[in-house]
């Protein structure tokens, strides 16, 4: 049993009735957190709803000695996201942790996908994150404490065919994570992204026959640490796949300064522009934007002086 407990804390877990979300709920609940299982019980496509999964999950948590309630509102709408946070406030009077795990799938190639299929996935993954985080963040700022864990994906970093809706959603999560980390820093609010790899119903349609053991229980401890008060990082991304845990981050090459450019000059120097032997990395929650500007301007200044 972990020494890091969640006594007195309230965790909202979207998509908390099954798969990864259920594993997170069981772990945090077993360590003293009060749990809001937020899950509308929709099909994998995001269609329909069923109160059963959330109610059953909450009942199982209570049977294990945890305080838990179910909320079957949908993250896909602004009122739904607000209602999920209000369910935590009504039941437990506060919200300390938000783990946005809700998701759906609708596969289609870019030249074939319908607008409805695109929006259905964006509404649940990306807008769903905003719909829940926005009202929760306001409460966290007022109480001077909060932990947000957003669910990204290597599909948002590297992607694959037939998932433009998913790729856009998971890439967009990076910007939301940065803003929560930056604006929450002065208020005790930290935010990070989990990039999980686990075989759950979200893997339906994929050939997983060659995968190693990839149960949700391998991911849950990483999310548990990111959600804990002792978490020492913010504005970062962590991979958890099959027992491997790693940090993912965005980097850029140092690049090349020239006082003027032509198309042919860019073509001639693209090798040096792409040279990865000298890389820059910046941390969003440590004034990375300003540091990027300052270092870029310094490179220009040195180039002007040398020229």
What gap in Å lies between CA 161 and CA 279, rounded to an integer? 29
Half-sphere exposure (CA, 13 Å, Cβ side) for 57? 32
CB 101 within 8 A of CB 15: yes
State both tokens at 85: 């946070």
What gap in Å lies between CA 155 and CA 305, rounded to an integer? 43
CB 159 within 8 A of CB 211: no
Half-sphere exposure (CA, 13 Å, Cβ side) for 104? 26
Which residues, 6+ apart, have CB-to-CB distance to 180 below 8 Å?
133, 137, 148, 189, 191
- DSSP code string of 86-134: HHHHHHHS---EEEE-------B-TTT--HHHHHHHHHHHHHHHHHHHH
Considering the candidates 115, 166, 238, 257, report the single residue annotated as catalytic.
166
CA 178-181-183 angle, 5° bins: 100
Q: Which of 166, 241, 183 is nearest to 208 (CA)?
A: 241
158 catalytic, yes or no? no
Catalytic positions are 166
């Amino acid at each position: 049993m972990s020494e890091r407990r969640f006594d007195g804390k309230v965790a909202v877990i979207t998509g908390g009735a099954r798969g990864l979300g259920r594993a997170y709920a069981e772990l945090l609940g077993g360590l003293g957190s009060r749990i809001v299982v937020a899950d509308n019980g929709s099909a994998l496509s995001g269609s329909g709803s069923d109160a059963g999964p959330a109610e059953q999950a909450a009942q199982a948590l209570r049977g294990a000695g945890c305080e838990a309630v179910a909320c079957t509102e949908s993250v896909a709408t602004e009122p739904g996201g607000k209602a999920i946070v209000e369910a935590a406030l009504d039941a437990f009077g506060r919200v300390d942790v938000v783990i946005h795990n809700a998701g759906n799938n609708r596969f289609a190639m870019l030249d074939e996908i319908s607008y409805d299929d695109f929006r259905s996935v964006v509404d649940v993954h990306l807008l769903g994150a905003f719909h829940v985080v926005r009202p929760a963040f306001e409460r966290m700022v007022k109480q001077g404490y909060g932990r947000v864990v957003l669910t990204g994906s290597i599909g948002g970093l590297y992607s694959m065919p037939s998932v433009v809706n998913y790729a856009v959603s998971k890439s967009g999560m990076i910007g939301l994570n940065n803003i929560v980390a930056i604006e929450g820093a002065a208020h005790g609010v930290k935010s990070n992204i989990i990039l999980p790899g686990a075989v759950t119903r979200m893997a339906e349609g994929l050939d997983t026959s060659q995968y190693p053991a990839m149960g949700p229980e391998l991911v849950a401890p990483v999310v548990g640490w990111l959600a804990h008060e002792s978490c020492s990082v913010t504005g970062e991304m962590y991979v958890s796949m099959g027992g491997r845990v790693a940090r993912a981050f965005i980097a850029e090459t140092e690049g090349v300064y020239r006082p003027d450019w032509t198309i042919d000059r860019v073509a001639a120097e693209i090798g040096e522009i792409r040279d990865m032997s000298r890389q820059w990395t910046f941390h969003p929650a440590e004034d990375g934007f300003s540091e990027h500007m300052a270092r870029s301007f310094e490179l220009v200044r040195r180039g002007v002086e040398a020229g």
